[in-house]
Amino acid sequence: MQAITPLNTRECATDQTLPVLVIFPHAGGSPRFYSHWCQKLPDARLWGMTYPGRDGRSAEKPAPSIQQLAAACASQLAVRLAALPPVPVMLFGHSMGAWVAWECARLLEQRLPAQRLVTVVSGQNPPDQSPGSRLHLAQDAALIADINRQHPASRALWEIAELRQLFLPLVREDYRLLETYRAQPGTVRRLHVVYGRDDGEIDPTRIANWQHWGRERCRYRAFPGGHFYLAAPDTTLPRYLSELFHGEV
């Protein structure tokens, strides 16, 4: 099943020179979460990566590991990008998606060495910093409490039994991916780090260590808000990404 989900009408545009933004969602998330970005990125193609087990891929089993999830994404992206002329490509990942995007970028740089690629990681510590938790093995109540702690706006969803039954197994699998992830040494060429100033998931003493996972000078930008500082209706982040595409920052 195709993992790449077009988020805007530019997917059907005849202009093949438009830059491409590829979005890697957070744990439990799907590309639909980022649909409000389209209005702020009118001159780019937006592709969202749909992970196994959700949306149109609901019948598929979850990925065994973040590395294998990234490899599957890289395989599909390499085919799609090879069909385009050389254009700027940005891989953006938030929270769990940050590690998936970083792993995917490493593979794409090997497969498409001429590709103009930049990786933007959001709301996540460097790859060598494991969460240290085991919530994927915990009772439902503990798992839901942690989800609500990070994203209080989702609290009402988890109070509905039918939705808990539908979505909680998927989120549990994503927690497993995060909590069992062990990165191998490596780097990507161009790396930017963004995060919410009040994000309790970020270790402020270690966030600068992302510089060791990129080959060029790593850039950092903090935005107002917590872990989900980028949720609708806020569009501060896509405006910043647009500036990156145009080389203004």
The token duo for 167 is 């979505």
How many beta carbons lie within 10 A of that of residue 20, not counting itself? 22
CA–CA separation, 217 vs 197, rounded Å? 21
| CA neighbours closer than 13 Å in the CB half-sphere of residue 187 | 13
Mean pLDDT of all residues in 46-52: 94
Q: Is 12 a member of any domain?
A: yes
Residue range 186-216, pLDDT digits in tens? 999 999 999 999 999 999 889 999 999 999 9
Q: At what angle do helices 161-180 and 140-150 cross, to 10 degrees?
A: 80
Phi/psi class of residue 29: alpha, beta or left (left: φ > 0; alpha: ψ in -120 to 50)?
A: beta
Q: Is 95 a member of any domain?
A: yes
Q: At what angle do helices 96-111 and 161-180 cross, to 10 degrees?
A: 50
Q: Is 174 a member of any domain?
A: no
Mean pLDDT of all residues in 28-34: 91
pTM above 0.85?
A: yes
Mean pLDDT of all residues in 140-149: 83
Q: Is 64 a member of any domain?
A: yes
Domain that holds residue 208: 4-129+185-242
Q: Tell me: pLDDT of 1 over 70.
A: no
Residue range 81-119, pLDDT digits in tens? 999 888 999 999 999 999 999 999 999 999 999 898 999
Q: In CATH, what number is assigned to the domain containing residue 199?
A: 3.40.50.1820
The token duo for 76 is 């599909």
Of residues 57 and 38, which shows the higher confidence score?
38
Residue 155 has what pLDDT? 87
Radius of gyration of the chain (CA): 17
Residue 46 parent element (H or E): strand 45-49
Q: Is 147 a member of any domain?
A: no
Q: Is 146 a member of any domain?
A: no
Relative to beta strand 219-223, strand 191-196 is parallel
CA–CA separation, 174 vs 150, rounded Å? 15
Residue 221 parent element (H or E): strand 219-223
Q: Is 224 a member of any domain?
A: yes
Q: Single out the residue of 154, 178, 157, 181 nearest to residue 27, CA to CA.
A: 178
What single-letter amino acid sits at 238?
A: P
Residue 28 has what pLDDT? 87
| Average pLDDT of the chain, as a whole number | 90
Residue 41 has what pLDDT? 92
Residue 10 has what pLDDT? 64
The distance in angstroms from the start CA to the end CA of the chain is 37
SS3 breakdown of the chain: % helix, strand, coil, rounded to 5?
Answer: 45, 15, 40
Identified catalytic residue from 30, 95, 122, 242 = 95
Clarify whether 35 is annotated catalytic: no
Q: Is 223 a member of any domain?
A: yes
The number of folded domains in the chain is: 1
